[in-house]
Amino acid sequence: MAGYLTDIEHERVTGAVGAAEMQTAGEIVTVVADRSDGYSDIALLWAAVVALVSIAALALLPDFYLGLIDWALGLWGHAWTPGEVLAVAAIVASAKFLGMWLLQLWQPLKFALIPAPIKTLRCRARAISLFKVGAERRTNGRTGILIYLSMREHRAEIVADEAITSKVSPETWGEAMAAMLVHIKDGRLADGMIAAVEQVGAVLAEHFPRDADDTNELPDRLIEL
């Protein structure tokens, strides 16, 4: 998969992280992901819903749909047995299920059908998972923070370590998120990440100023998944 940012843009974001960390003991991790989840369960759910709706339609209007089949097959006055009706229902439901599943292989449609609250919850869960692996409790002062952007869902998250959350409320990161999204909506991903890094760095510098002997404990480079 091709990355969303060029090598030069990677260097710009990395440089912004390094510059921000020169003023603070905090450690900033930046991640850009293509998506936060595969959402196979949601795709299956939509396929099942379409299949059930097709069965319900046949149950509500049997004469209409069976008449269409008679017309399509050139049948005259065919008397449908219960077994034949069940077979038709099974074939139609299976075809609808498979068709809806295949349609969702087109990613724009798949993501358009995912409810917004589910996107938000799974982006948050993915950000927390990455934070636990890459930043949580990996600094001496528990001052790691993750800036996470998920492209397919159009969602961003900021997750901070315990020392930061004890002094900085989650609402404080609203300005960083807003600064990032202004640029991202215009397609300038690097500028958005840099703006967020600068805002986060300013907050961290206020609460966690850099010590003279501070060392860089986490990589500054932008991570693309």
Higher pLDDT, 204 or 68: 204
Token code pair at residue 126: 């993915």
Give the span between the Cα atoms of 181 and 134, in whole angstroms. 24
Query: What pLDDT was estimated at residue 225?
Result: 84
Domain limits for position 173: 7-37+114-224
Query: What pLDDT was estimated at residue 160?
Result: 84
Q: How confident is the model at residue 214 (pLDDT cuts 50, 70, 90)?
A: low
First-last CA distance in the chain: 9
Instruction: Flag whether pLDDT at 121 surpasses 80.
Output: yes
What pLDDT, in 10s, does the model give residues 45-57? 999 999 998 888 8
User: Computed over its alpha carbons, how large is the radius of gyration of the chain?
Assistant: 26
Same domain assignment for residues 122 and 188: yes
Higher pLDDT, 73 or 186: 186
Query: What pLDDT was estimated at residue 116?
Result: 93
Query: What pLDDT was estimated at residue 41?
Result: 92
The stretch 193-213 carries a mean pLDDT of 84
Same domain assignment for residues 125 and 211: yes
Hey, is 224 helix, strand or coil? Answer: strand
Q: How many domains does the chain have?
A: 2
- 40-60 and 62-73 are packed helices; what angle lies between their axes, rounded to 10 degrees? 90
Same domain assignment for residues 124 and 218: yes
Query: What pLDDT was estimated at residue 102?
Result: 95
User: Does a structural domain hold residue 1?
Assistant: no
- E strand or H helix at 200: helix 189-207
Same domain assignment for residues 22 and 97: no
CA 109 from centroid of its chain's CA atoms: 15
* Average model confidence (pLDDT) across the chain: 84
Same domain assignment for residues 12 and 118: yes
Phi, psi of 125 (to 5 degrees): -65, -40
Instruction: Flag whether pLDDT at 40 surpasses 60.
Output: yes
User: Does a structural domain hold residue 211?
Assistant: yes
The stretch 94-104 carries a mean pLDDT of 93
Domain boundary among 89, 112, 135: 112
Could you list the beta-strand ranges (E) of the chain: 27-33, 144-150, 155-160, 223-224
Give the span between the Cα atoms of 207 and 141, in whole angstroms. 12
Phi, psi of 168 (to 5 degrees): -120, 125
CATH of the domain at 189: 3.10.310.50
Q: How confident is the model at residue 1 (pLDDT cuts 50, 70, 90)?
A: very low
Same domain assignment for residues 171 and 209: yes
Question: Could you tell me if 224 and 32 are in contact, meaning their C-beta atoms sit under 8 angstroms apart?
Answer: yes
Hey, is 201 helix, strand or coil? Answer: helix
Same domain assignment for residues 31 and 56: no
Question: Could you tell me if 181 and 192 are in contact, meaning their C-beta atoms sit under 8 angstroms apart?
Answer: yes
Query: What pLDDT was estimated at residue 118?
Result: 94
Is this model's pTM higher than 0.85 or not? no
User: What's 4's DSSP letter?
Assistant: S
Same domain assignment for residues 24 and 128: yes
What pLDDT, in 10s, does the model give residues 126-183? 998 888 876 655 566 677 889 899 989 988 888 888 888 888 887 788 888 888 888 8
Same domain assignment for residues 219 and 150: yes
Same domain assignment for residues 212 and 103: no
